[in-house]
Chains A and B, each alone.
Chain A
Amino acid sequence: MAARAEFLDRIKREVAKTPGLFPATPAPRPANPAEAAEIVRRQIAERWPQALERFREEFERVAGVFHRVGSLAEVPNVVRGIAKEKGVSEIVCWDRAPLGLDLRPSLGAEGLTVTVAEAGQESDEARVRHRAEAARAGLGVTGCDFALAETGTLILLSGSGRPRSTSLLPDTHVAVFDRTRLLESLEQVGIMLEALHADPARSMSGAMITFITGPSRTADIELTLTRGVHGPKEVHAIFVERP
Chain B
Amino acid sequence: MSESPLAVPFPERAGAALQDAFLQQALAIATTKFIELRKESFEGFPQGEALRDRARAIKEATLQRLDFYLGQLADSIERLGGRVHWATTGAEAREIVLRLCRDKGVRMAVKSKSMATEEIDLNEALEHAGVTPVETDLGEYIIQLAHERPSHIIAPAIHKTKGQVAELFSKELHGDFAADPEVLTAVARKALREKFLQADMGITGANFAVAETGTVALVTNEGNGRMVTSLPRLHVAVMGIEKVIPSMTDLMVFLAILARSATGQKLSSYTTLVRGPRQKGELEGPDEFHLILMDNGRARQIAGTLREALYCLRCGACLNVCPVYRQIGGHAYGYTYPGPIGILLTAMLKGTESVKDLAHASSLCGACKDVCPVRIDIPRMLIELREHLDRERIAPWPERMIFSMFKLILLSPALFHVSAFLGRALQIPFVTNGRVRRLPLFFAKWTRTRDLPPIAAKTFRERWKELD
- A residues with a Cβ closer than 8 A to B are 3-4, 6-12, 14-15, 17-22, 24-30, 58, 62, 117, 119-122, 126-127, 130-131, 135, 150-153, 158-160, 163-165, 168, 186-187, 189-191, 193-194, 197, 205-224, 226, 228-232
List, in ascending order, chain B residues with CB within 8 A of A152's CB: 266
What residues of A have a CB within 8 angstroms of the CB of B230 in the complex? 164-165, 168, 208
Q: Are A14 and B299 in contact (CB under 8 A)?
A: yes
B155 and A165 form a contact (CB under 8 A): no
Question: Which residue, A11, A58, A211, has most C-beta atoms of chain B within 10 A?
Answer: A11
CB proximity of B372 to chain A, nearest CB, Å: 14
Task: Give CA–CA (A19, B63) in the complex, Å.
Answer: 10
Contact check: which of A194, A208, A218 meets B185 at CB < 8 Å?
A218
B279 in contact with A206 (CB, 8 Å): yes
Would you give the shortest CB distance from B6 to chain A, in whole angstroms?
Answer: 26
How far is A134 from B277 in the complex, measured between Cα atoms in Å?
20
Contact between A24 and B64, CB atoms less than 8 A apart: yes
Is B315's beta carbon under 8 Å from chain A? no
* Contact of B265 with A213 in the complex, beta carbons under 8 Å: yes
CA distance A223 to B274 in the complex (A): 29
Contact B189 A229 (CB under 8 A): yes
B283-303 contacts to A (CB < 8 Å): 283-285, 289, 293, 295, 299-300, 302-303
Instruction: Please tell me if the beta carbons of B302 and A17 are within 8 angstroms of each other in the complex.
Output: yes
Task: Please indicate the chain B residues that have their CB under 8 angstroms from the CB of A15 in the complex.
Answer: 63-67, 302-303
* Interchain nearest-CB distance for A236 vs B (Å): 15
- Would you give 28 A-B contacts (Cβ < 8 Å), ordered by A? A7-B70, A14-B303, A20-B63, A21-B308, A29-B249, A58-B266, A62-B265, A152-B266, A159-B282, A160-B282, A191-B249, A205-B282, A206-B282, A208-B272, A208-B275, A209-B272, A209-B273, A211-B270, A216-B270, A217-B222, A218-B185, A220-B157, A221-B138, A221-B162, A222-B26, A223-B29, A226-B185, A228-B189
| Nearest-CB residue, chain A, relative to B285 | A207
Q: Is the CB of A11 within 8 A of B88?
A: no
Interface string of B131-156 (1 = CB under 8 A from A): 00000111100100000000000011
A151 and B267 contact, CB distance less than 8 A: yes
Cβ contact within 8 Å between B189 and A131:
no
B223 in the interface (beta carbon within 8 A): yes
Would A206 and B184 count as touching, CB distance under 8 A? no
- The answer to whether B271 and A210 have CB atoms under 8 Å apart is yes
Secondary structure at the A interface, as helix, strand, loop or mixed, is loop
Give 4 nearest A-B pairs by CB, closest first: A231-B223, A160-B281, A220-B139, A17-B303
- A226-B283 in contact (CB<8A): no
Could you say which of B33, B245, B268 contacts A213, with CB atoms under 8 Å apart? B268
What residue of chain B has the Cβ atom nearest to residue A95's Cβ?
A: B283
- Nearest residue (CB) in A for B136 is A230
Q: Which residues of B contact A (CB under 8 A)?
A: 26, 29-30, 33, 54, 56-58, 60-67, 70-71, 74, 80, 84-86, 88, 136-139, 142, 155-158, 160-162, 165, 181-182, 184-185, 188-189, 192-193, 196-197, 212-213, 215, 221-224, 226-227, 229-231, 241, 245-253, 255-256, 263, 265-285, 289, 293, 295, 299-300, 302-303, 307-308
A213 pairs with B284, CB closer than 8 A: no
Are B224 and A10 in contact, with the CB atoms below 8 A? no
Known A206-B282, A207-B285, A209-B272; 13 more pairs at CB < 8 Å:
A15-B303, A28-B249, A121-B283, A150-B266, A189-B252, A190-B252, A206-B279, A207-B282, A221-B157, A221-B181, A229-B138, A229-B222, A230-B196
Check if B161 sits within 8 Å of A222, measured CB to CB. yes
Give the residue name and chain of the A residue nearest to B58 (CB). Answer: A26
Q: Are A213 and B267 in contact (CB under 8 A)?
A: yes
Whether the Cβ atoms of B249 and A190 lie closer than 8 Å is yes
| Contact status B280-A205, CB under 8 Å | yes
Q: How far is the CA of A139 from the CA of B178 in the complex (A)?
A: 28
* Cα distance A117–B221 in the bound complex, in angstroms: 26
What's the least CB distance linking B175 to chain A, in Å?
16
B155 with A27: CB separation less than 8 A: no
A218, B266: Cβ atoms under 8 Å?
A: no
The residues of B that contact A21 with a CB separation of less than 8 Å are 60, 307-308
Chain A residues near B197 (CB, 8 Å)? Answer: 131, 135
The answer for the CA separation of A6 and B87 in the assembled complex, in Å, is 11
Shortest B193–chain A CB gap in Å is 7
Contact A130 B284 (CB under 8 A): yes
Known: A14-B300, A153-B267, A186-B252. A210 touches B273 (CB 8 A): yes
Q: In this complex, what residue of B is CB-closest to A7?
A: B86
Residue from A4, A26, A217, A222 in contact with B269 in the complex, judged by beta carbons closer than 8 Å: A217
Contact B165 A221 (CB under 8 A): yes
**Residues B302 and A229 in contact, CB atoms below 8 Å apart:** no
In the assembled complex, how far is the CB of residue B222 from the closest CB belonging to chain A, in whole angstroms? 4
CB–CB B138/A20 < 8 A: no
How distant is B136 from chain A, measured CB to nearest CB, in Å?
A: 7
Chain B residue nearest to A117 (CB atoms) is: B283
- B189-A11 in contact (CB<8A): no
> In whole angstroms, how far apart are the Cα atoms of A223 and B277 in the complex?
35
Given known contacts A11-B66, A164-B226, A207-B282, A212 and B157 CB-to-CB distance under 8 angstroms: no
